[in-house]
Structure 1
């Protein structure tokens, strides 16, 4: 389960908007918002976010237990 609250925090902390990240992973902002709502991203999308946002501990965001 993806902790979308933490992901939103990291995006803001790094000075990006969710639309910026959507473009970086190659999807539309609308698709990004839908994926955030259900908390599901593909592994390639997750890897791009980890790299672009320089996330040190991706497990706590992308592989969190409920």
Structure 2
């Protein structure tokens, strides 16, 4: 997020969720597929598998 100039608040707004919800999702590591797709585009993520499908 920081590399692309996003705060949690700004990213939450882009995803259409509250900052609190984003914080919880970041801590748990649980996102819906639509949220993942949006984050890949918004944050210009080159290799999403490494981020979203870690063991």
Q: TM-score range by the shorter chain?
A: over 0.9
**Gapped regions of structure 2 (runs ≥ 5):** none
CA–CA separation in structure 2 for the residues paired with 1:29 and 1:15: 16
CA–CA separation in structure 1 for the residues paired with 2:8 and 2:48: 17
TM-score for both structures, normalised by structure 1: 0.79
Match of 1:24 in 2: 14
CA–CA separation in structure 2 for the residues paired with 1:25 and 1:47: 10
User: Within the alignment, does 1:58 sit opposite 2:48 as a pair?
Assistant: yes
Instruction: Flag as ranges the 4+ runs of structure 1 deviating above 2 A.
Output: none
Q: In angstroms, what is the RMSD of aligned CA positions?
A: 0.7
Match of 2:31 among 16, 36, 41: 41
Q: What is the number of residues matched between the two proteins?
A: 55
CA–CA separation in structure 2 for the residues paired with 1:51 and 1:42: 15
CA–CA separation in structure 2 for the residues paired with 1:64 and 1:20: 25
Match of 1:8 in 2: none
**Gapped regions of structure 1 (runs ≥ 5):** 1-10
